[in-house]
Every structure is written in structure tokens, then in C-alpha cells.
């Protein structure tokens, strides 16, 4: 069977999502319930609360995805679920539900790596546009709240193989956006709010020097020759923002903003903007510019080093407008095509999980009955 309707289920972090996708190329339905309101008071995801919210949402979200698709359970060919990486307790909710449903329906279950899901969000949308062939090899950057990973991807029949050629040594890029937003009392999650505020500030106002990572070179210590590596580090830039806040006496303004925003249930960009003075907006714009320059610079250096034909950028931070513009401009200068998911499919969703499951469905690569959550599942 070369056509398949797959129900995808995603619960690795703070979104409960379900989607029906046809043959990895057409989104029939996609439902995402976000827990932002639950985690907002803590300015970050609280794992226990995430698991509890997934338990509440999973049944209605899956039912809604089927209703929106106009299909019943019998019309599905397979189920797919995120195995990891992610929060163990959150992953287990999706996995337990998917296992029970697959067992009851006597349908195959496919385990999907969340990071491969982010990559397939791009492929899914390209296929929807009629583009079935991306030139290999590819350099893919998965950049989210939990990951900043660079993979060299090659095609091996319908399946892909991945070699990790860089990753963050400390904070993920999305985590840096979230932590800086928390520090400046701009709201949660930090990425979208900084994205919206940055155009109102001067990006060259504050100089941040991106972390220079020392890599061991070929022949150093290790007997095996090493491949070049392109690692990231974002804890330093967060500390630099802390220092800037202290030395430029921004703390009283931050405290006033924190108190003012506490009065809003869900503050909108305009509310936050009205509470930001020009020095804060300059700081935000400069922080975003430094993050984007570093991500684009290292990804393009890796692309040159490995001689790839295509760039693929995915994950929550790929929704960032300045990041997209910068990648498009700099990739064009190097004659490299660059692909992103649409903004809704950049952040966590289940359509990407159902799409990534399709090649595994064709290969008969189904999950064993013992399938369990793997919080640090690597992508290979």
C-alpha cells in the first residue's frame, strides 16, 4: 500500500497535539492545544504540570483531530507517536495513549523521533506544494526550546540517515530567548515576544560577541580522525544580558513592567511594547541580532565545510522572522536553496510526527509492545 492515513500524536513538551496526514504529503487535520497559560506564571515549562495537562487534553485532542479529518478510527492505516527526546512524563502520556489505542484498534504503531518530526514538517509542506525532491546532501538545523542541533542528512532509499555535526554545549537557542525574556519581564514564551519587539529597537546598539568554541582538530589526542564540528553556546549571551541590565540600571524599569504585566491574563505584544523604553528595545533587538548571526554563521560554515546542496531550518525558533530573512539572504549569496516550515508548523505539532512516520510505515518499521519514552533519544 503506497497510500496511508496516519494519526500522529505529540506530547513531548508543552503542546498536546494530534493530526491526520495522508502519505506524508497532505495534512487532513491538525489540532494543537498549548499549555502556555499553565506555565506562564513560572516563565518556563514545569514538567509535572505538563504531564497533568497532557492527561487532560489527550482524549479531546485526538477526537477532535479525527472529527476535523472526517474519518473514524477504522479508516486509519497506522498510528504514530513521539518517542523522544522530551520530558519523560509528558512523552509517556502520548505513548501510553497511542499504545492502548493501537492495541484496541489492531493497527500498527510507529515511534517517531521528535527532531526528525521537525525536519519532516518541511518535507510535508514542500510535498504539498508539489516539490518531492530536495537535493542531497542537506545541512539541517533543528533549533527549538530544547535543541540547537546541526545534522548532515543523506538519503538512504526512502529513509534518511543523520550525522550530528554540531550542537549546543549549554542552553538551546529557544531557551536563551525564553530566559532573556524572563529576565527582562517580557512574558512567556520569550521567542515570539522578542521576535515582535525587536523591530522597534536598534540591533547595533549593544555589542554581544558570540561564544567562540574551541574544537579539537584532526589528530588531537584522539587516535581516530575527527570530523569538523560546529558547536553552539548560549549561556554566555544570557550572562552578558544580565550584566548589561545591572550596569545600565535597567532593573527598576523591569520591576515596573513585571508588576504592570501581572494585571494582564494574556498580555498582547502591544501591551508589552507600551511598557518598554528605548534602551530595553535596543537590548532586545541587539540580543536577537547576535543570536541570529551566530545561528546563521555557524550553519553556513558547516554547509560549506560539508559541501551540501540544500539547507533546511526547523524547530520553534525557525518561526523567527529575522532568522528567516537572514538565512534567506545569506544562503542566496552562497547559491544554496534554504527551506523552512510555515510558522504554524515550525513549533510543536503532530502533523510533522505523522509525516515522519510515513517512510517507516512503508518500510514496516513498527514499534515493539515495550515501546517507552526516551527523554534523550538521539537522531541517527
Report d(CA 12, CA 89) in Å as an integer.
9
By beta-carbon proximity to ligand KG4, the closer residue of 16 and 320 is 320
By beta-carbon proximity to Zn ion, the closer residue of 25 and 348 is 348
Residue 228 in grid coordinates: 569538523
In the chain, where do the E strands start and end? 5-10, 15-22, 26-34, 78-84, 109-113, 138-143, 148-156, 159-167, 310-314, 338-339
With CB under 5 to 8 Å by kind, the binding choice for 190 among Zn ion, ligand KG4, none is ligand KG4
Determine if 113 is a binding residue for Zn ion (CB under 5 A): no
Determine if 140 is a binding residue for Zn ion (CB under 5 A): no
Cβ 23 to ligand KG4, closest distance in Å?
24
- Number of residues this chain uses to bind ligand KG4 (CB under 6 A): 19
With CB under 5 to 8 Å by kind, the binding choice for 191 among Zn ion, ligand KG4, none is ligand KG4
DSSP annotation string for 151-169: EEEEEETTEEEEEEEEEBS
Determine if 201 is a binding residue for ligand KG4 (CB under 6 A): no
In order of 56, 97, 149, the CA distances from 118 in angstroms are: 25, 22, 12
Stretch that binds Zn ion, among 48-56, 137-145, 164-172, 288-296 (CB under 5 A): 137-145
Determine if 178 is a binding residue for ligand KG4 (CB under 6 A): yes
Cβ 322 to ligand KG4, closest distance in Å?
8
Determine if 351 is a binding residue for ligand KG4 (CB under 6 A): no
Out of 6, 13, 123, 250, which residue is the one contacting ligand KG4 (CB under 6 A)?
13
DSSP annotation string for 36-92: HHHHGGGTS--HHHHHHHHHHHHHHHHHHHHHHHT--GGG-SEEEEEEESS-HHHHH
* Maximum Cα–Cα distance across the chain: 65
In order of 75, 162, 371, the CA distances from 99 in angstroms are: 18, 27, 8
Determine if 197 is a binding residue for ligand KG4 (CB under 6 A): no
Stretch that binds ligand KG4, among 74-82, 170-178, 259-267, 268-276 (CB under 6 A): 170-178
Using CB under 6 A as the criterion, what x/- string covers residues 302-321 for binding ligand KG4? -------------xxx-xx-
In order of 82, 172, 285, 294, the CA distances from 240 in angstroms are: 36, 16, 14, 15
Kindly tell me the sign of the dihedral angle through the C-alpha atoms of 334, 298, 185, 316.
Answer: positive
Out of 11, 23, 113, 144, which residue is the one contacting Zn ion (CB under 5 A)?
144
Determine if 8 is a binding residue for ligand KG4 (CB under 6 A): no
Out of 347, 351, 367, 379, which residue is the one contacting ligand KG4 (CB under 6 A)?
347
Beta strand 138-143 with 148-156 is antiparallel
Nearest to 315 by CA among 343, 274, 355: 343
Out of 23, 82, 144, 280, which residue is the one contacting ligand KG4 (CB under 6 A)?
144
**Which residues from 31-90 bind ligand KG4, rule CB under 6 A?**
none
List residues near Zn ion by CB under 5 A. Answer: 144, 348
List residues near ligand KG4 by CB under 6 A. Answer: 13, 144-146, 174, 177-178, 189-192, 195, 315-317, 319-320, 347-348
Amino acid at each position: 500500500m503506497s497510500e496511508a492515513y496516519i494519526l500522529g500524536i505529540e506530547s513531548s513538551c508543552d503542546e498536546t497535539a494530534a493530526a491526520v496526514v495522508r502519505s506524508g504529503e497532505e495534512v487532513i487535520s491538525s489540532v494543537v492545544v498549548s499549555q502556555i497559560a499553565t506555565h506562564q506564571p513560572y516563565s518556563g515549562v514545569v514538567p509535572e504540570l505538563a504531564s497533568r495537562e497532557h492527561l487532560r487534553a489527550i482524549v479531546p485532542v485526538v477526537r477532535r483531530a479525527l472529527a476535523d479529518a472526517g474519518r473514524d478510527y477504522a479508516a486509519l492505516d497506522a498510528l504514530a507517536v513521539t518517542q523522544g527526546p522530551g520530558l519523560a512524563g509528558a512523552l509517556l502520556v502520548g505513548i501510553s495513549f497511542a499504545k492502548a489505542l493501537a492495541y484496541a484498534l489492531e493497527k500498527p504503531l510507529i515511534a517517531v523521533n521528535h527532531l526528525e518530526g521537525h525536519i519532516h514538517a518541511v518535507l510535508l509542506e514542500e510535498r504539498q506544494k508539489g516539490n518531492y525532491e530536495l537535493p542531497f546532501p542537506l545541512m539541517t538545523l533543528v533549533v527549538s526550546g530544547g535543541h540547537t542541533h546541526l545534522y548532515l542528512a543523506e538519503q538512504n532509499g526512502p529513509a534518511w540517515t543523520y550525522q550530528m555535526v554540531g550542537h549546543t554545549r549549554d542552553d538551546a537557542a529557544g531557551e536563551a530567548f525564553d530566559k532573556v525574556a524572563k529576565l527582562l519581564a517580557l512574558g512567556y514564551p520569550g521567542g515570539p515576544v522578542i521576535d515582535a519587539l525587536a523591530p522597534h529597537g536598534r540591533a547595533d546598539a549593544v555589542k554581544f560577541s558570540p561564544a567562540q568554541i574551541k574544537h579539537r582538530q584532526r589528530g588531537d589526542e584522539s587516535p581516530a580522525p575527527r570530523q569538523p564540528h560546529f558547536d553552539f553556546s548560549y549561556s554566555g549571551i544570557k550572562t552578558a544580558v544580565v550584566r548589561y541590565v545591572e550596569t545600565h540600571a535597567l532593573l527598576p524599569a523591569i520591576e515596573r513592567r513585571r508588576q504592570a504585566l501581572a494585571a494582564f491574563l494574556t498580555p498582547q505584544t502591544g501591551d508589552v511594547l507600551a511598557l518598554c523604553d528605548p534602551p530595553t528595545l535596543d537590548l532586545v533587538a541587539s540580543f536577537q541580532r547576535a543570536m541570529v548571526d551566530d545561528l546563521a554563521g555557524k550553519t553556513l560554515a558547516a554547509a560549506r565545510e560539508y559541501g551540501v546542496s540544500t539547507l533546511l531550518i526547523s524547530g520553534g525558533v525557525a518561526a523567527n522572522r529575522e532568522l528567516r530573512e537572514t538565512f534567506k539572504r545569506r544562503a542566496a549569496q552562497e547559491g544554496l536553496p534554504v527551506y523552512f516550515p510555515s510558522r504554524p508548523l515550525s513549533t510543536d505539532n503532530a502533523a510533522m510526527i505523522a509525516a515522519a512516520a510515513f517512510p517507516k510505515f512503508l518500510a514496516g518499521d513498527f514499534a515493539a509492545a515495550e515501546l517507552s519514552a526516551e527523554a534523550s533519544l538521539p537522531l541517527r
